[in-house]
């Protein structure tokens, strides 16, 4: 089965390519991470820096009362994601479903802006072997211009 970039289940995801040249792989990744942090904090001031992981591949960069914002990469493809928090401190503060409803509402409100801010690619679909197919955002509208 083929593999693609990971991201947490239920995430709003923006995909983009980044240069993963052998000589400066770490530098390119670090620049992308810093760009995501500064851009997301400017657009959504409630997000604060957070170091953590969701699983082994999904790195949490920012967090607010409701959501984690993070990044996952694979072979030069970055998934920048926003998803409801799933840590124990989040659920212990208010174990009722109501907190989750607020989180889902906030994520829904910011999702278009989030994808517009970070997305260069759109996930079109997947083959049966798991390989993902993407198209560049805005490509179709550019090709139909007179």
Q: What is the pLDDT of residue 129?
A: 85
Q: What is the pLDDT of residue 139?
A: 59
pTM: 0.86
Which token pair is 52? 């953590």
Q: Tell me what percent of the chain is helix, strand and coil, each rounded to the nearest 5.
A: 40, 30, 30
What residue segments make up the domains of the chain, in order of their start?
12-143
Q: Are 72 and 5 in contact (CB under 8 A)?
A: yes
Q: What is the pLDDT of residue 93?
A: 73
Ramachandran region, residue 130 (left: φ > 0; alpha: ψ -120 to 50; beta: rest): left
Q: What is the pLDDT of residue 2?
A: 57
Question: Alpha helices, DSSP H only, in 1-146?
Answer: 25-43, 88-93, 97-118, 139-143
Question: Cα(67)–Cα(48) distance, rounded to whole angstroms?
Answer: 10
Series of mean pLDDT values for 10-residue runs along the chain (146 residues): 82 90 79 96 97 95 96 94 90 71 93 96 89 81 43
Q: What is the pLDDT of residue 140?
A: 52
């Amino acid at each position: 089965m083929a593999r693609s970039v990971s991201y947490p289940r239920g995430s709003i995801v923006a995909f983009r390519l980044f240069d993963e040249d052998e000589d400066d792989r770490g530098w390119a990744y670090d620049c992308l991470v810093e760009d995501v942090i500064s851009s997301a904090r400017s657009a959504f001031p409630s997000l604060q820096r957070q170091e953590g992981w969701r699983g082994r591949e999904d790195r949490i960069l920012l967090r607010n009362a409701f959501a984690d914002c993070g990044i996952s990469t694979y072979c030069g493809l970055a998934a920048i994601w926003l998803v409801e928090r799933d840590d124990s401190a989040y659920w212990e503060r208010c174990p009722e479903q109501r907190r989750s409803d607020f989180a889902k509402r906030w994520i829904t409100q910011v999702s278009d802006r989030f994808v517009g801010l970070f997305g260069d690619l759109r996930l079109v679909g997947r083959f049966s072997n798991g390989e993902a197919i993407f198209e560049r955002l805005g490509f179709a509208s550019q090709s139909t211009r007179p």
